Amino acid sequence: MAIRLRKLYRQAKPQYDMRLVTGKAGLDNLINWVHMIEEEPVAEFLRGNELVFTTGIGYADSTWLNSFTQKLINNKAGGLIVNVGPYIKSIPEATKEYCRQQGFPLFTIPWHFRLVDVTRDFCRSIIDSEQTEMSISGALKTLIFFPADLPKCQSILECYGFDAAWRCCAAVISLAAGEEELHDEYLAVVRLYVERIINSVSEKYSIFVQDKRLVVVLANFSENEINYCIDRIIESYLGAERKYRIHIGVGQNEHGLPLLGKSYKQAIAVLPVAVKNNHYKVYYKDMGIYKILLSTDEKDVLNEIYNEVLGELATYDAVNNTDYMSTLKHYLENDASVQAVAKELYLHRNTINYKLGKIKEITGCNLASTEDRLKIMLAFKIKDIL
C-alpha cells in the first residue's frame, strides 16, 4: 500500500512551504518512493508512482521542464516538486498548462529549504505506510489460511480501522505469459495499476502475492464499487499492449471479515473457469448451479462422474474425428428438439437422428429419459469447471 500524494502534501505544506501550482486532480495519486532527477533522460528509468524532485541544476533556463514533465507523465510518475531558486526561478506557463490538462501534480518548494530534509520525511512516511500494509496483509492472509487465529487478526485489523462486521470480498488475479521468467515482472506491473484503481475508491484493501497470483482483499466495498474496480482493472489491461493474459476470479461479498476465507475459496474455485473459457472475469455469485459443483473438494468424484457419462463419447470423437459431443450438447440446449438442432446446425433431421442413435449406442444413455438427460447435463457442467 503506497501513500497518497495528498497526505504527503498536507504534511509538507506548512513545514516546507510546499505549494501546489497545478494538477489538483492528481492529488490522490499513489507514491511508492521519491527520486531526485536532474537530467531529463533519467526520467525514462522510472517504474511508476514516484514523486520526483528537481532543482534544474545544469540547465541554462527552465524551458526543459516542458519535455521533462511529458517524460514523467509517460512513465507514470506520481508528481513533480520543483525546488525554485537560482536554477529554476519560475515555471513556464506552457509547463503549467500541460500539467493542468494531464491532471499531473506540480509543486514548488523554496530554495532555502533543504531537500534532504524533505525527502527524508517523505521516505519515512512511505516506509511507515509500507509497514502498515505488511501488518494488514499479514493479518488478512492469516484470516484466510488460519481462521483459528481470528481473535488475534481481528485485534490487529481493528488497530488500523477495520471493522469485523464489514463485508469482505476476495478477488484472485492470474496471469498467463509466454516467458515464465518474466512472471514476477508482470505481477509488479499489474499490482501497480490495480492498486491505483482500488485506492481511488477506498484505502481499506490489501494486495498480496500467493502462489504466483495477485490476491485482492476489499473491505467495506459495495457491490457497485467492487464491479467498478474489476471493470477498471480489465479496461486498464485492454488499454495497453500487454505481454500477458489476465483472468480474475471474484468471490462473494461476504458479511463479516471472519468469512474472508470463504470468499477467497470461491474466487480460487471460479478462476479456472475464467481461464478455461478465456473470460477476463468470473463472479462466483453468477455461477448458479455450478456453485454446488464448485463447493466440493472431491474433484476425483467429479472426474469419475464425467468419465462414466461422457468419457467414452469424448474418446470416440477424438479417435474418429466425429462431433458427437457437440451434437449432444446442442440437443440438450435445445430441449431435446431434433428439429431445432437440425436448424441450428444446418443439417437434415435424419442426420441428427443418426448421430443421436450413435450417441445412445456409445454412452448407453436413453436420451428420451429425463433422468439420463439430467445426468448428461451434469456431466457437461462438470466438464466446464474441471
Residue 324 in any domain: the answer is yes
Residue 118 in any domain: the answer is no
Q: Report which DSSP code applies to 309.
A: I
CB atoms within 10 A of CB 74: 11
Task: Give the pLDDT confidence of 195-229 residue by residue, as tens digits.
Answer: 989 988 998 999 999 988 999 999 999 999 999 99
DSSP H helical ranges for the chain? 5-16, 65-74, 93-102, 115-145, 150-159, 183-199, 223-238, 260-276, 290-294, 299-306, 312-320, 324-333, 338-345, 349-363, 370-385
Quick one: cell of 152?
488475534
Contact 285, 263 (CB under 8 A): no
Task: Give the pLDDT confidence of 233-278 residue by residue, as tens digits.
Answer: 999 999 877 778 899 999 999 999 899 999 999 999 899 889 888 8
Tell me, yes or no, whether 169 and 254 share the same domain: yes
Residue 164 in any domain: the answer is yes
pTM of the model: 0.74
The pLDDT of residue 385: 76
Quick one: cell of 80?
513533480
Place 40 in a pLDDT band, splitting at 50, 70 and 90: confident
- Find, among 209, 207, 162, the residue nearest to 183 by Cα: 209
Residue 302 three-state SS: helix
Cα Rg of the chain, angstroms: 28
CATH number of domain containing 69? 3.40.1390.20
Tell me, yes or no, whether 133 and 282 share the same domain: yes
The pLDDT of residue 178: 59
* Amino acid making up residue 170: A
Average pLDDT, the chain: 90
Residue 333 in any domain: the answer is yes
CATH number of domain containing 340? 1.10.10.2840
Residue 7 in any domain: the answer is yes
Tell me, yes or no, whether 159 and 61 share the same domain: no
The pLDDT of residue 1: 58
The pLDDT of residue 181: 47
Place 10 in a pLDDT band, splitting at 50, 70 and 90: very high
- The residue with greater pLDDT, 212 or 104, is 104
Residue 119 in any domain: the answer is no
CB atoms within 10 A of CB 217: 26
The pLDDT of residue 289: 75
- Find, among 10, 6, 47, 45, the residue nearest to 29 by Cα: 6
Place 336 in a pLDDT band, splitting at 50, 70 and 90: confident
Q: Which domain holds residue 64?
A: 3-113
Residue position matching grid coordinates 445426468: 375
Final residue in a domain of this structure, among 87, 113, 139: 113
Tell me, yes or no, whether 92 and 184 share the same domain: no
The pLDDT of residue 148: 87
User: How many independent structural domains does the chain possess?
Assistant: 3
Task: Give the pLDDT confidence of 118-158 residue by residue, as tens digits.
Answer: 999 999 999 998 899 999 999 999 999 998 888 999 999 99
